[in-house]
Amino acid sequence: MFSIPGQAPVTITPAAERQISRLMAGKEAYGLKIGLKKGGCAGMEYTMDLVPAADAADEVVEQNGARILIAPTAQMFLFGTQIDYETGLLESGFKFRNPNVTDACGCGESVSFKLDRDTPDA
C-alpha cells in the first residue's frame, strides 16, 4: 500500500528472520502480523501476533522463509523500519529501528509519530 516499487516496506535482519521462522514453525502460523495500537507513555505501541492467514489488505514481506504481515493502518508508520531480534543477558526480543518515530518512552515500549493523534488503532 505505502511502498516503493522494488523496495520492501520493512527489512528483516538475519537474526529476526531466524526467530520469526522458529515462531511460525512452532505454531504452524502463516506469519507474524505487525501493527500499532494506542497506548504506553509515548502514545503508540507495536503489536505482534502469529496469524493463520493474511487479510486482503495486509502488506506481506517475506525474506528467507520469514513472513511479516503489516496491518493496513500501520503501513505508513512502519515504512522504512528495520526489524531485528536481539538476545541479551537480561532480555531478548524484537527491536524496531523506525525512522518515522518522533519520540519514544524511556523503557522503549511505546513510540509516537507526528500524526499519531489522528490515527485509529492499527
Q: Rounded distance, CA 19 to CA 50, Å?
A: 12
Domains of the chain: 10-115 (2.60.300.12)
Give yes or no for residue 29 having a pLDDT over 70: yes
Take residue 27 and report the three cell numbers written for it: 505454531
Q: Using an 8 Å Cβ cutoff, are 35 and 104 in contact?
A: no
Q: For 48-73, what is each residue's pLDDT tens digit?
A: 999 999 999 999 999 999 999 999 98
Q: What is the pTM of this model?
A: 0.79
